[in-house]
Amino acid sequence: MRILILATDAHGGFGGIAQYNCDVIDAMSGFAAVERIVVLPRLIVNPGFEAPYKTHYVRQASHGLASFLLCSALEAFRGATYDLIYCAHINLLPVAGAISRLARCPLVLTIYGEEGWRKPGNWLATTALSSANLIISISQLTLDRFLDWAPRLNAETAIVPNAVRAERYALGAKDQDLVDKYGLAGHRVLMTLGRMDPDERAKGFDEIIDLMPRLLEHSPDLVYLCAGDGGDRPRLEAKARFSGVGDKIIFTGRIPESRKADYFRLADAYVMPSRWEGFGFVILEALACGVPVVASTVDGTREAVMDGELGLLADPGNPDDLERAIVEALRRPKAIPDALGYFSFANFAKRLEAALSKVVAIGQSF
Is the same domain home to 193 and 94? no
Report the C-alpha dihedral over residues 223, 220, 330, 261, rounded to 10 degrees: 20
Which pLDDT value is given to residue 364? 45
- Read off the pLDDT of each residue in 348-366 and give the average, rounded to a whole number: 82
The reply to whether 148 and 282 lie within a common domain is: no
> How do strand 107-111 and strand 2-7 relate by DSSP bridges?
unpaired
The answer as to whether 171 is a domain residue is: yes
Q: Is residue 363 part of a domain?
A: no
Residue 362 has a pLDDT of 67
193 and 335 in a single domain? The answer is yes
Residue 188 within a domain = yes
- pLDDT value at position 120? 86
Angle at 141 between CA 19 and CA 353, to 5 degrees: 50
Instruction: Map residue 120 onto helix, strand or coil.
Output: coil
Contacts of 141 (CB under 8 A, 6+ apart): 278, 299, 300, 302, 303
Spatial separation of the C-alpha atoms in residues 228 and 224, rounded to whole Å = 13
Collapsed DSSP state (helix, strand, coil) of residue 228: strand
Same domain, 12 and 144: yes
CA dist 146 and 113 (Å) reads: 9
- Indicate whether 172 and 108 sit together in one domain: no
* 3-state SS, residue 284: helix
One domain for residues 332 and 211: yes
Contact 339, 306 (CB under 8 A): yes
CB atoms under 10 Å from CB of 174, counted, come to 16
Residues 6+ apart with CB under 8 A from 235: 198
**Cα 245 from Cα 95, distance rounded (Å):** 50
Are 110 and 24 in contact, with CB atoms under 8 Å apart? yes
Confirm if 231 and 288 have CB atoms less than 8 A apart: no
| Count of the separate structural domains present in the chain | 2
Contacts of 102 (CB under 8 A, 6+ apart): 76, 77, 79, 80
Same domain, residue pair 73 and 114: yes
Question: pTM of the prediction?
Answer: 0.92
Asked if the structure places residue 291 within a domain, the reply is yes
List pLDDT tens digits, range 44-82: 999 999 999 999 999 999 999 999 999 999 988 876 689
Is the pLDDT at 274 greater than 90? The verdict is yes
Residues of the chain by 3-state class (helix, strand, coil), percent to 5: 45, 15, 40
Average pLDDT, the chain: 94
Same domain membership, residue 350 and residue 310: no
Co-location of 279 and 292 in the same domain: yes
The long-range contacts involving 319-326, CB below 8 angstroms and separated by at least 24 positions, are 319/207, 319/210, 319/211, 319/214, 322/207, 322/211, 322/271, 322/273, 322/294, 323/211, 323/214, 323/215, 325/271, 325/294, 326/190, 326/211, 326/215, 326/269, 326/271, 326/294
Residue 365 lies in a domain: no
Q: How confident is the model at residue 123 (pLDDT cuts 50, 70, 90)?
A: confident
User: What percent of the chain clears pLDDT 70, i.e. is strictly above it?
Assistant: 98
Domain that holds residue 120: 2-163+344-356
Q: What is the pLDDT of residues 132-159, one digit of tens each?
A: 999 999 999 999 999 999 988 889 999 9
Q: How confident is the model at residue 112 (pLDDT cuts 50, 70, 90)?
A: very high
Q: Is residue 366 part of a domain?
A: no
203 assigned to some structural domain: yes
Mean pLDDT of all residues in 269-291: 95
Residues 73 and 118 in one domain: yes
- Whether residue 361 lies inside any domain: the answer is no
Q: Give the whole-angstrom CA distance, residue 293 versus residue 192.
A: 10
Mean pLDDT of 235-251: 94
Q: Do 51 and 191 fall into the same domain?
A: no
Asked if 239 contacts 209 with a C-beta cutoff of 8 angstroms, the reply is: yes
| DSSP H helical ranges for 78-152 | 93-103, 114-117, 123-128, 140-149
User: Which CATH number belongs to the domain containing residue 110 in this structure?
Assistant: 3.40.50.2000
Q: Are residues 113 and 127 in the same domain?
A: yes
